[in-house]
Amino acid sequence: MVEPQTANRRPLSETLPGTWRLDSRIDVDASGARRPEPSLGEDPVALLIYDRAGHFAAQFMKRDRSVLAPDAATSGPNNSRAIGGYDAYFGAYSIDDAAGTVTQTLSAALSAEHVGATLTRAMTVEGDRLVIEIDTAHADGTPVRRTLSWTRVG
């Protein structure tokens, strides 16, 4: 679980801005069993950008799109929906340093129903590693905890 900002860490507002490459996207259920999400999988190609002016952009693509990826009818809570093995959205963000959370308001999104959505995620940055945790649901409705691990590339 992501820990809120502590006195020993620099604030998220100082450490988050930059460009991040996704290393893994792991979903686990309450028993700890892995539950890969079918539309993007556990190792999509992804890039996440947070600038210092409060803008962000995210793009995710299923690594192997040679096999059609299923479109989810809906997305889980606090999550957007991939279409054809691809997801993208951008907008504005704000940081709650004390809580260790980032709230994103989507100005645009690949899935039309997410335009204007607000998504809040727990995040920690240690050096060039970013970890994001989201409570959401698997395609079959089972609650899962998604952990996204990123490396700073810019």
Q: Give a yes or no: residue 110 inside a domain.
A: yes
Q: Give a yes or no: residue 2 inside a domain.
A: no
| pTM (predicted TM-score) | 0.88
Asked if residues 57 and 82 have their Cβ atoms less than 8 Å apart, the reply is no
Q: Domain residues for 72?
A: 12-152
Domain count, the chain: 1
Q: Distance (Å, rounded) from C-alpha 94 to C-alpha 73?
A: 29
Q: Give a yes or no: residue 101 inside a domain.
A: yes
Q: Give a yes or no: residue 3 inside a domain.
A: no
Digit-coded pLDDT (tens) for 12-54: 999 999 999 999 999 999 999 999 988 898 999 999 999 999 9
Asked if residues 49 and 57 have their Cβ atoms less than 8 Å apart, the reply is yes
Question: Can you give the pLDDT at residue 5?
Answer: 47
Comparison of pLDDT for 69 and 123, the residue scoring more? 123
Q: Give a yes or no: residue 129 inside a domain.
A: yes
Q: Give a yes or no: residue 111 inside a domain.
A: yes
Q: Distance (Å, rounded) from C-alpha 90 to C-alpha 48?
A: 10
Asked if residues 130 and 17 have their Cβ atoms less than 8 Å apart, the reply is no
Question: Can you give the pLDDT at residue 65?
Answer: 84
Q: Quick check: 4 pLDDT over 80?
A: no
Q: Give a yes or no: residue 28 inside a domain.
A: yes
Q: Distance (Å, rounded) from C-alpha 150 to C-alpha 144?
A: 19
CATH code at position 129 = 2.40.128.280
Q: Give a yes or no: residue 77 inside a domain.
A: yes
